[in-house]
Structure 1
Amino acid sequence: MAPTGRHRAPAEPPSSPHDAVLAAAARHPGRRRFLTVAAATAALAFSTNLPARGASAPRRLDANLIDRDPFTLGVASGDPMPDSALLWTRLAPEPFEADGGLGQRRVTVEWEVALDERFARVVFRGSAQALPEYAHSLHVEVAGLAPGTVYHYRFRTGGWLSPAGRTRTAPAPGSAAPSLRLAAVSCQAYQDGYYTALRHVAEDDVDVVLHLGDYLYEYAVNAVGGERRYTGTALPDVFDRETVTLADYRLRYALYKSDPDLRAAHAAHPFAVTWDDHEVENNYAADRPENAVPPADFLLRRAAAYRACWENQPMRAAQLPQGADARVYRRLHWGSLAQFDLLDTRQYRSDQTYDDRPHAPGPESDDPARTITGAAQERWLLDGWRGSTALWNLMPQQVCFSRRRFAEGADAPLSMDAWDGYRASRDRVVAGARSAGIANWLILTGDVHVGYAFDVKEDFDDPGSRTVGTEVTCTSVASGRDGAERPANWDTYMRANPHLRFYDGRRGYLRAELDRKAARLDFRTVPAVSTPGAPVTTAASFVTEAGRPGLNPV
Structure 2
Amino acid sequence: MSSADRELRAAARHFGRRRFLSLTAAAAALAFATNVPAAGATGTRAMDTAKIADDPFTLGVASGDPMPDSVVLWTRLAPVPYEPGGGMAGLAAAVLWEVALDERFAVVVRSGGSVAFPEYNHTVHVEVDGLAPGSEYFYRFKTGAWISETGRTRTAPARTSAAATLTIAAVSCQAFHDGYFTAHRHLAEDDVDLVFHVGDYLYEYAVNDVGGARAYPGGTLPDVFNREAVLLEDYRLRYALYKSDPDLRAVHAAHPFVVTWDDHDTENNYAGAVDEHGSPPEEFLLRRAAAYRAYWENHPLRGAQMPSGADLRLYRRLHWGTLAQFDVLDTRQYRSDQAYGDDLHVPGPESDDPARTMTGQAQEDWLIEGWRASDAVWNVMPQQVCFSQRRMDLAEALMSMDAWDGYRASRERILAGAKSAGVENLMVLTGDVHAGYAFEIKDVFDDPESRTLGTEIVATSVASGRDGAEKPANWDTYMTANPHLKFYNGQRGYVRVELGPQVARADFRTVSAVTTPGAPITTAGSFAIEAGAPGLEPV
The equivalent of 1:307 in structure 2 is 293
The equivalent of 1:103 in structure 2 is 89
Q: 2 CA distance for matches of 1:17 and 1:227?
A: 28
Q: Structure 1 residues 17 and 208, CA, compared in 2 at 3 Å: closer, same or farther?
A: closer
The equivalent of 1:209 in structure 2 is 195
The equivalent of 2:77 in structure 1 is 91
Tell me the secondary structure at the aligned position of residue 494 of structure 2: strand
Which segments of 5 or more consecutive residues in structure 1 lack a partner in the other structure? 8-13, 19-35
The equivalent of 1:79 in structure 2 is 65
1:480 aligns to 2:465 (yes or no): yes
Q: How does 1:22-61 map to 2 (within 5 A)?
A: 43-44=29-30, 50-51=36-37, 57-61=43-47
The equivalent of 2:444 in structure 1 is 459
Q: 2 CA distance for matches of 1:229 and 1:48?
A: 41
Tell me the secondary structure at the aligned position of residue 508 of structure 1: strand
Q: How does 1:103-182 map to 2 (within 5 A)?
A: 103-182=89-168
The equivalent of 1:425 in structure 2 is 410
Q: Give 1:245's aligned amino acid.
A: L
Q: 2 CA distance for matches of 1:415 and 1:512?
A: 26
Q: Is 1:41–1:324's contact at 8 Å kept on the other side of the alignment?
A: no
The equivalent of 1:517 in structure 2 is 502
Q: Is 1:40–1:297's contact at 8 Å kept on the other side of the alignment?
A: no
The equivalent of 1:283 in structure 2 is 269
Tell me the secondary structure at the aligned position of residue 100 of structure 1: helix
Selected match of 2:401 from 416, 428, 437: 416
Task: Summarize deviations over 1:489-531 as a string: whole Å, max 9, x none.
Answer: 1111011001000000000000000101100000000000011
Q: Is 2:171–2:198's contact at 8 Å kept on the other side of the alignment?
A: yes
Q: 2 CA distance for matches of 1:536 and 1:157?
A: 37
The equivalent of 1:26 in structure 2 is none
Q: 2 CA distance for matches of 1:16 and 1:354?
A: 30
Q: 2 CA distance for matches of 1:205 and 1:5?
A: 38
Q: Structure 1 residues 448 and 281, CA, compared in 2 at 3 Å: closer, same or farther?
A: same
Q: How does 1:384-463 map to 2 (within 5 A)?
A: 384-409=370-395, 411-463=396-448
Task: Summarize deviations over 1:423-475 as a string: whole Å, max 9, x none.
Answer: 00000011111100000001000000000000000001211100000001110
CA drift at 1:226: 0.3
Q: TM-score, normalised by structure 1?
A: 0.92
Which segments of 5 or more consecutive residues in structure 2 lack a partner in the other structure? 10-16
CA drift at 1:291: 1.3
CA drift at 1:295: 1.2
Task: Summarize deviations over 1:86-120 as a string: whole Å, max 9, x none.
Answer: 00000000000100000211000000000001100
The equivalent of 1:31 in structure 2 is none
Q: 2 CA distance for matches of 1:211 and 1:363?
A: 34
Q: Give 1:331's aligned amino acid.
A: R
Q: 2 CA distance for matches of 1:17 and 1:463?
A: 50
Q: Structure 1 residues 51 and 114, CA, compared in 2 at 3 Å: closer, same or farther?
A: closer
Tell me the secondary structure at the aligned position of residue 400 of structure 2: coil
Q: Give 2:139's aligned amino acid.
A: Y
Q: Structure 1 residues 2 and 431, CA, compared in 2 at 3 Å: closer, same or farther?
A: same
Tell me the secondary structure at the aligned position of residue 399 of structure 2: coil
Q: Structure 1 residues 45 and 415, CA, compared in 2 at 3 Å: closer, same or farther?
A: closer
Task: Summarize deviations over 1:400-444 as a string: whole Å, max 9, x none.
Answer: 0000000014x3110000000000000001111110000000100
The equivalent of 2:12 in structure 1 is none
CA drift at 1:44: 3.4
1:243 aligns to 2:229 (yes or no): yes
Task: Summarize deviations over 1:133-169 as a string: whole Å, max 9, x none.
Answer: 0000000001100000000000000000000000000
Q: TM-score, normalised by structure 2?
A: 0.95
CA drift at 1:42: 6.0
Q: Is 2:186–2:521's contact at 8 Å kept on the other side of the alignment?
A: yes
Q: 1 CA distance for matches of 2:151 and 2:464?
A: 27
Q: Is 2:188–2:250's contact at 8 Å kept on the other side of the alignment?
A: yes
Q: Is 2:324–2:380's contact at 8 Å kept on the other side of the alignment?
A: yes
Q: Is 2:28–2:286's contact at 8 Å kept on the other side of the alignment?
A: no
Q: Is 1:150–1:168's contact at 8 Å kept on the other side of the alignment?
A: yes
Selected match of 1:491 from 457, 463, 476: 476
1:369 aligns to 2:355 (yes or no): yes
Q: 2 CA distance for matches of 1:447 and 1:365?
A: 20
Number of residue-to-residue matches in the alignment? 528
Q: 1 CA distance for matches of 2:311 and 2:284?
A: 13
1:531 aligns to 2:521 (yes or no): no
CA drift at 1:58: 2.1
Q: Structure 1 residues 449 and 45, CA, compared in 2 at 3 Å: closer, same or farther?
A: closer
CA drift at 1:367: 0.1
Q: Give 2:517's aligned amino acid.
A: P
CA drift at 1:5: 8.5
Q: Is 1:516–1:546's contact at 8 Å kept on the other side of the alignment?
A: yes
Q: 2 CA distance for matches of 1:291 and 1:109?
A: 42
Task: Summarize deviations over 1:210-242 as a string: whole Å, max 9, x none.
Answer: 000000000000000000011145100000000
1:64 aligns to 2:34 (yes or no): no
Q: 1 CA distance for matches of 2:361 and 2:423?
A: 20
Which segment is superposed worse, 287-296 or 417-426? 287-296
Q: Is 1:51–1:57's contact at 8 Å kept on the other side of the alignment?
A: no
Q: Percent identity of the aligned residues? A: 69
Q: Is 2:179–2:464's contact at 8 Å kept on the other side of the alignment?
A: yes
